[in-house]
Chain A
Amino acid sequence: MSLIPLAAIIAVLPLLFPSAYYYRVAALVFIFAIASLGLNLLMGFAGQVSLGHAGFMGVGAYAVSIGPSHLGIPSLFSFVLGATVSALVAFIVGRLVLRLKGHYLAIATLGFGLLLAIVFANEATWTGGPDGMTVPRFTMLNWPIRGAETWYWISAVSFLLGAVLAFNLIDSPTGRALRAIHDSEIAARVLGVDVAQKKLTIFVVSAVYASVAGSYLAALNGHITPDVSGFLRSIELVTMVVLGGMGSIAGSLVGSALIVILPQALTFFHDYEHVALGLIAMSVMIFLPGGIVPSLAVAIGGGRRK
């Protein structure tokens, strides 16, 4: 199983980390990798587009904030509750929206993401409003989880688990059905694939991934604002998926690493940071149109279809 080298790297990488800052950045990379992996399943394999996926991250993030502080629900249960609520919301929204195609689906998901962000920003008694709210220390059975280092391990291992799940999903009949849908929805339907149900399933699965990532992000930061589910965050997720490589699990990780690390690395550009960022995004997309990992795979030779 080709995930063993990834596991090895996760175990070994901390030896390169001189301080908590590196752990934090790496934790963020894996957290966003989880979210973009979920989105990749939706976009890369099933060929659907979602410009509002950060909304689900927001659900997970606010679940672990509101649960302990307003409802007295312990963090772990709130985390599971968040994922369940995300799945439920995805189910309902998906049924309404997945019949749309292409750009229409894009605008529908975008609108839905915006809706969530607006609710989070306005319902201040629950969410603290635009200034956000503090996230109570995440406790697992009364044992507090603190420190960027701990979150590094949690998010990295979760990403591994998520990748294993994704691999299994792709190689399953559902996964094959999804790839068929991606190639041609009509042909898949002709072959007897229940297109609507499969699309809904993957939408729900991808929402759960995003919710998990959102919960981790909130717990890591200790503070959450409505931006977590904003339009710009959704666009970041899509960019991670596309830059890393649609349909590639390693691509989700690479895309996330690029988007998370680049602003840190570009600080020496000072005022020119965004100019550089835009140029890099454009260049990668122009010269490596399939995304970084698939293009590298072709270059290194013998790209094996994931």
Chain B
Amino acid sequence: MAEFLQFVFSGLTVGAIYALVAIGFTLIYNASDVVNFAQGEFVMLGGLITVFLGYAGVPLLLASVFAIFATSAVGFALYYFAIRTARGANAVSLIIITIGASIFLRGAAEIIFDKRFHSLPPVFDSAPIRIGGAAILPQSLVVLAGAVIIVMLLWVFIGRTLFGKAVIATSANRVAAQLVGIDTRVIVGACFALSAAIGAIAGILVTPITLASYNAGTLLALKGFAAVMLGGIGSGMGAMVGGILLGLLEAFAAGYVSARYKDAVAFLVILAILFAMPEGLFGKAKVERV
């Protein structure tokens, strides 16, 4: 039983990380239909900017806030200079643009920071919490709480505020939104910035667990993307559930099947789920105009 519980804790720890990355993916996708492969780099930037400001003597809280703002600016810049300029390009071209952006950001991080691994102190510097013979780090609970809080805040923001309604309008039908006077460029740009901010927060929260380095973004983006598709693209709840489910799948595969093949097993399960539910767990069936 203790073993099972430990696997659950491990899955929740890793799953919460994937969930946070997935939520960032979802927001941008909802606003602009773009799958942003640079999302992992936002996470990396949040963590590394905080770390290096910390080395320079800035108090960590201040460093975190600055990192979040700086990363949001990068997200907005990505939209403004790359995505917006390529207006009307098809989906695959946009993906390549975000891939190019992720290479660019990684290259820039290589130069600005360094090529080593870095850590941040956890929020609660206390001993692991022991329940039923298994141990979970307080930071894992922080990440989990962070994911839940962010999803709830987003839900309130998108559902209840005027700006949020504009986001829904833009994602439903861009032209119609423009016709009713919504400046879709501002909306989409803001969503990119917000997504980047979420990514940065994720980076700051997970660095105490995963450690940060300039190329940490690639694997996170990959797993985050898988989580998003598992949960159903476009659904915030789906992103969260998808992330946690993916984490649990990996942990159980490592624990009960084979640690070497845990990623393979997790993917096989995802493929099986997609085979049965081609739009993911919470995805809406796409209506195709003929």
Interface residues of A (CB under 8 A from B): 43, 49, 96-97, 99-104, 106-108, 110-112, 114-115, 118-119, 122, 184-187, 231-232, 235, 238-239, 242-243, 246, 271-282, 285-286, 289-290
Contact = CB atoms under 8 A, between A and B. Distances in A.
A111 B270 contact: yes
A275 B92 contact: no
Given A122-B261, A285-B97, A99 B107 contact: no
A186 B104 contact: no
Contacts of B261: 118, 122
Contacts of B125: none
Contacts of A235: 99
Given A281-B103, A286-B86, A107 B97 contact: no
B100 A107 contact: no
Contacts of A49: 92
A274 to B, nearest CB: 3
Contact of A289 (B35, B93, B108): B93
Interface stretch (B150-158, B169-177, B278-286): B278-286
14 contacts: A101-B278, A103-B35, A106-B229, A107-B229, A108-B274, A122-B260, A186-B288, A271-B110, A278-B100, A278-B104, A279-B104, A281-B96, A286-B85, A289-B88
SS of A interface (majority): helix
Interface size class of B (residues with CB under 8 A): 35 or more
Given A112-B271, A271-B111, A277-B103, A231 B96 contact: no
Given A277-B103, A286-B97, A104 B274 contact: yes
Contacts of A242: 92-93, 96
B90 interface: yes
Interface of B: 35, 82, 85-86, 88-93, 96-97, 99-108, 110-111, 218, 222, 225-226, 229, 233, 260-261, 263-264, 267-268, 270-271, 274-275, 278-280, 286, 288, 290
Report, nearest first, the 6 A-B pairs whose CB atoms are least far apart. Answer: A278-B104, A274-B107, A281-B100, A278-B103, A111-B267, A282-B100
Contacts of A232: 218
B236 to A, nearest CB: 16
Given A106-B229, A118-B261, 14 more contacts: A43-B92, A101-B278, A108-B271, A110-B226, A118-B264, A186-B288, A186-B290, A242-B96, A273-B107, A274-B106, A277-B103, A278-B101, A285-B100, A286-B82
